[in-house]
Amino acid sequence: MRISEVILDVWKNHFLKPLIIFSMNKQELIDAIAAESGLSKKDSKEALDAIVKTVGVTLKKGENISLVGFGSFSVIQKAARTGKNPQTGKPIQIAAKKAVKFKPGKELADSVN
């Protein structure tokens, strides 16, 4: 089973049951990956940690990541802008920064509806 299929299966079976699970923490995700893939919890944790690290390193280099059926990650540049301090209402300058953008794939988007 490809890693994108495992992620999609975990997503469908564990994130899309709002009446049973309202949110999922890292350990619950590891448990779900282990249950879906047949890997041990230790191997599932190592795989998840490797995925998170690899995604971060790849995006930091300015490269995009595309997982067919799951979605794609990219880095966008947000321009500097003027905002408002919510406590005082005074205008503040918000610096330009890079942000991670995620666009869900068709299978993932369809599974939500």
Return the minimum-mean-pLDDT range out of 3-7, 30-34, 43-47, 94-98.
Answer: 3-7
pLDDT digits (tens, 9 = 90+) for 45-91: 999 999 999 999 999 999 999 999 999 999 999 999 999 999 999 99
Tokens 């998170």 belong to which residue? 52
What are the angstrom distances between the C-alpha of 76 and each of 48, 54, 60, 96, 104? 24, 18, 11, 11, 16
Q: Are 105 and 73 in contact (CB under 8 A)?
A: no
Tokens 């940690």 belong to which residue? 49
Going by the DSSP 8-state scheme, the letter that residue 90 receives in this structure is -
CB atoms < 10 A from the CB of 69, how many? 17
The amino acid at residue 25 is: N
Domain layout of the chain by residue ranges: 3-112
Is pLDDT at 31 greater than 70 in this prediction? yes
Across 7-18, average pLDDT: 63
Is pLDDT at 19 greater than 50 in this prediction? no
pLDDT digits (tens, 9 = 90+) for 99-109: 999 999 999 88
What is the architecture, at CATH level 2, of domain 3-112?
Irregular (4.10)
